[in-house]
Chains A and B, each alone.
Chain A
Amino acid sequence: MIAAAVTGLLALFTPQSILFMVVGVVYGLVIGVLPGLGGIVAMALVLPFTFGFQPAAALALLLGAHAATVWGGSITGILFNVPGAAKTITSVFDGYPMTQRGEGARALGASAMAALLGGIIGAVFLVATIPVVRPLMLALGPSEYFMMALWGLTIIATFSEGSVLKGLIAAGLGILVAFIGMDPITGTARYTFGSLFLLDGISFPVAMIGLFAVSQMLKLFVKGGSVVEAQADAESSTVWDGVQDTFRHWWLVLRSSVLGLWIGVLPGVGASVGGIAAYAQAAQTSKHPERFGHGAVEGVIGPDATLAATEGGGLLPTLAFGIPGGESMAILLAAFINMGITPGRQMLTTNLSLVFTMVWIIVISNILTTVIGLLSSKTLARSAKLPARYLVPTVLAVCFMGAYATHGRIGDVVVAAIFGVVGYAMDKYNFSRADFVIGMVLATMIERDLHISLTLYGNTFIFTRPVTLAMFLFILFTTALPIVRRSLARRRAAAEARDS
C-alpha cells in the first residue's frame, strides 16, 4: 500500500500533470464563482480536453477543477449572498451576515481552511476506510436512501419555531416544482401543459440562479447602496482570523469531514444534501445555536469541510464498484472509460497506484485552492463594497449568461427570470428560499426510492428491513431530541424565573 502511495505521488511530478492541476484549480475557482456553474459543469466542459493525455495529467485537470469549484462557489455565497452552485447554498446562511458586519475576509479564510482540512481528512479517510466501507455500502438499499431523504426533510421541522408553517410551505412548493417534467418512474409528463421545454423539468442550477442571484440583485436595486451597508462596520477582520477559527473548531471540522465522506460514499445522495446536513449538525451540536444565521463562523466551517470531504468519499463507489457517488463522479467515470480504465475490484488491487494518484490530486489541489484563495481573500472581500450601479447590471448579465450556458437553452433564461421574481417575493414575505431548495433537492430522491422500496419490499418495508427501521428510529430520535431539549430549557428558565 505504501509503495502504491509513493508511485501514485510520483506520477504527478511531471510538468504536464503539474500544469494541468494548476490550470484545473484556477479554472475551477473561476467556474465556481459564476452563479449556477458548479463542479459538474466544470468537469463536463473540460472532459473533451482530457482525451489523449496521460491518466495522471487528465485526472489532475478534472479533479483539480472539481475540487476548486467547492471553495469557488462559497466565495460568491459569502460576499454577495449568491451561492456559486447548489451545494454551496449554506455559505449564504452565515457567510453573508459575516460579510455584512465587516468580517468577509474572516469568513473567506475560515471557508478556505475548512475546505482544505475537509479535503485532506476526506482523502485520508478514503484510504483508511476502503476495506471497511465496502460491506457497509452493500447493506444499504433504496429504502435506506428513502430514509436518508426523509431525515433531510425533518431538518426543516426540527429546528423551526414560530416560522414552521412558512418553512414547511416553502419546502412543499420546492418538492412540487421538482416534479415538473417527465416522471422517471412511469414516464408520465407531469405539470408540463404540453410544453416540450418543461418535459426536462426545471433545471436545478437555473432555479438557484433565479432564486438567489437574480432576486438578490432585485433586492439590491430596490435598497440601493452596496452589498455591505454604508454604515456597517469597515472590514474588521483578517483572513488569519478565519484560519484560527477553523483550528479552534477542530472537532467540528473532523465531524463535518467524516459526514462529508459518508455522504460522498452513498451513491446518488449528492453534495447539496451534504452541505445542508452539515449545517444542520453544526447548528444542532453548537453551544450557541442562536448565533446561526447571524454570522456564526461554525456555520461556514461545517458545510465547507463537509463539501470538500465528499470528493474523497465520492471516489470510493466510483472506483470500487463503478457506481458514481454523484453527477460529477459520473463524468469521472466517463473519463475512465475514455482512458481505458475499468472501475471495479481491480482498482483496489492492480490499479491501486492510480487510486492513490487521485487521492494525492485531491490533497494537492485543495492546498493550491487554499493558497490561491487565501492570497486573494482580501481583494475579494473588498468587492462586496461595489456600488449597486456597477454590481446590479454586471451580476444580472452573468446570471442570465450562466442560466443559458447551463444547458444551452434560451428557455432557461426565462426560468431564471421567473424564479428571480419568485425569490424576491419569497424573501419579502419571509418564505424560506433555503427550505424551498431543500425540498427541490430531496424530492426526486424521495419519490424514486419510495417507489423502488414499495416494489421491492412491499408496503411494510420500514418494518421488514432492519437497517431501514434503525434509520427510522434515528429520525424519530433526532426529531424528538430538540423538542425535548427546548421543553427542558423552558422549564429551566421558568424555574430560574421563579427562584429570582
Chain B
Amino acid sequence: MSRRTQENILAVVLVGILVAVIIVSMGYGPRSRLVPVPVAVFSLVLVIAQLVVQNTSSPDDLHVDVLEVLTRRSAREGLQDKARASRTSTATAHPPGTRARREVIAFVLLAVLLGLVLLLGPIVGIFLFVLGYAATIGRLRWYSALGLSFGVSGVLYLLFVVLLNTQMYHGILPGPL
C-alpha cells in the first residue's frame, strides 16, 4: 500500500470520527457543546483540506516534520533534514515488507502484555512478558532472561507495592482459580 493511500485512509477515518463527534455533540445542551462543536467543525475542515492537499501535492510533501510547528524552519529545510536523516539511517532501515511485519509483531506484543496484565495482574503479567520477550525475541539465555524478568518485576514490586503502597490489581484469572 502506497504512502498516499495510507494517508488517505487515515484522513477518511479522521473525517468519520469528527463527523461522529459533531453528531453526538448535537445531543448535548447548548453550553456543553459550545466549545466542542466549533473545535470539531474546524478540525473537520482542516482534515478535508489536508485530504485535498495530500492528493494534489508531490509524495515528498506528505513527509512533514513534527517540530516545524514549533520552530520557524521552512518546509524546504524540513525536507532537506529528512533527506539527510534518511540517508544516514539507510544502513539500519528495514525493507517495507519486513517493516510491516515488525509493526504487526509490535502491536501483537503490546496486546499480549495488556492481556497478561488484565488476566494475571501487573506484577505476574510483567514477569511473564519480560521472561517470554527476553527468551524468544531478545534471544537471551534462559538464566539471563529469568534474571531480567525477576529484576524488572522485583524492582517494580519494591517501588510501587512496598515503597509507594499502591493497591495492586490481581487480575481476572486469580479470582476464579
**Could you list which residues of chain A lie within 8 angstroms of chain B, going by C-beta atoms?**
30, 34, 45, 93, 155-156, 159-169, 172-173, 175-176, 179, 183, 185-186, 188, 190-191, 214, 218, 221-225, 229-231, 279-280, 283, 289-290, 292-294, 389-390, 392-394, 396-398, 400-401, 404-405, 408, 410, 413-414, 417, 420-421, 424-425, 427, 429-430, 432-435, 443, 446-447, 450-451, 482, 486
Q: Tell me whether A429 and B10 are in contact (CB under 8 A).
A: yes
In the complex, chain A residues whose CB is within 8 Å of the CB of B43? 168-169, 172-173, 176
Q: Tell me whether B77 and A290 are in contact (CB under 8 A).
A: yes
CB-contact partner of B73 in A293, A398, A410, A424, under 8 A: A293
Nearest CB of chain B from residue A101's CB, rounded to whole Å:
10
Whether B42 sits at the interface, judged by CB under 8 Å, is yes
Give Cα A229 to B138, complex, Å.
Answer: 18
Q: Given the known A-B contacts A179-B36, A404-B122, A433-B66, are A165 and B134 also in contact in the complex, defined by CB atoms under 8 Å?
A: no
Q: Tell me whether A279 and B130 are in contact (CB under 8 A).
A: no
Give Cα A161 to B67, complex, Å.
Answer: 10
User: Which 10 A-B residue pairs are closest in the complex by CB-CB distance?
Assistant: A162-B75, A293-B67, A172-B43, A389-B138, A167-B69, A163-B64, A292-B71, A289-B72, A393-B133, A160-B69
Give Cα A425 to B10, complex, Å.
Answer: 9
CB-contact partner of B126 in A163, A279, A401, A443, under 8 A: A401
Give Cα A388 to B122, complex, Å.
Answer: 21
Give Cα A68 to B34, complex, Å.
Answer: 40
Give Cα A404 to B77, complex, Å.
Answer: 41
Could you jot down 23 A-B contacts, CB within 8 Å? A30-B159, A45-B164, A45-B165, A93-B70, A159-B72, A162-B74, A162-B78, A165-B46, A169-B47, A183-B32, A191-B24, A229-B89, A230-B92, A290-B73, A292-B67, A293-B71, A393-B129, A394-B148, A397-B126, A401-B156, A410-B117, A446-B35, A447-B34
Within 8 A of A (CB), among B86-106: 88-89, 91-92, 94, 99, 102-103, 105-106
Q: Tell me whether A430 and B66 are in contact (CB under 8 A).
A: yes
Give Cα A112 to B169, complex, Å.
Answer: 37
In the complex, chain A residues whose CB is within 8 Å of the CB of B89? 229
Total contacts A-B at CB 8 Å: 232
Give Cα A290 to B77, complex, Å.
Answer: 8
Q: Tell me whether A486 and B6 are in contact (CB under 8 A).
A: no
Whether B110 sits at the interface, judged by CB under 8 Å, is yes
Whether B63 sits at the interface, judged by CB under 8 Å, is yes
Nearest CB of chain B from residue A16's CB, rounded to whole Å:
20
Nearest CB of chain A from residue B108's CB, rounded to whole Å:
11
Q: Given the known A-B contacts A169-B47, A397-B152, are A421 and B73 also in contact in the complex, defined by CB atoms under 8 Å?
A: no
With A393-B130, A396-B110, A447-B34 known, 17 other A-B pairs at CB within 8 A are A163-B69, A176-B39, A190-B36, A218-B103, A229-B92, A231-B92, A283-B72, A294-B67, A389-B134, A394-B130, A394-B148, A397-B129, A400-B114, A413-B122, A417-B111, A425-B10, A450-B35
Give Cα A161 to B88, complex, Å.
Answer: 25
Give Cα A174 to B102, complex, Å.
Answer: 28
Give Cα A443 to B43, complex, Å.
Answer: 14
Q: Tell me whether A172 and B39 are in contact (CB under 8 A).
A: yes
Q: Tell me whether B63 and A430 are in contact (CB under 8 A).
A: yes
Q: Given the known A-B contacts A294-B81, A393-B130, are A224 and B94 also in contact in the complex, defined by CB atoms under 8 Å?
A: yes
Q: Tell me whether A165 and B53 are in contact (CB under 8 A).
A: yes
Q: Tell me whether B29 and A186 are in contact (CB under 8 A).
A: yes
Whether B160 sits at the interface, judged by CB under 8 Å, is yes
In the complex, chain B residues whose CB is within 8 Å of the CB of A222? 94, 99, 102-103, 106
Q: Tell me whether A420 and B65 are in contact (CB under 8 A).
A: no
CB-contact partner of B39 in A175, A421, A425, A482, under 8 A: A175
In the complex, chain B residues whose CB is within 8 Å of the CB of A223? 92, 94
Whether B21 sits at the interface, judged by CB under 8 Å, is yes
Q: Tell me whether A161 and B156 are in contact (CB under 8 A).
A: no
In the complex, chain A residues whose CB is within 8 Å of the CB of B138? 389-390, 393
In the complex, chain B residues whose CB is within 8 Å of the CB of A430? 62-66
CB-contact partner of B28 in A190, A389, A450, A482, under 8 A: A190
Q: Tell me whether A93 and B67 are in contact (CB under 8 A).
A: yes
Q: Given the known A-B contacts A161-B73, A163-B64, are A389 and B152 also in contact in the complex, defined by CB atoms under 8 Å?
A: no
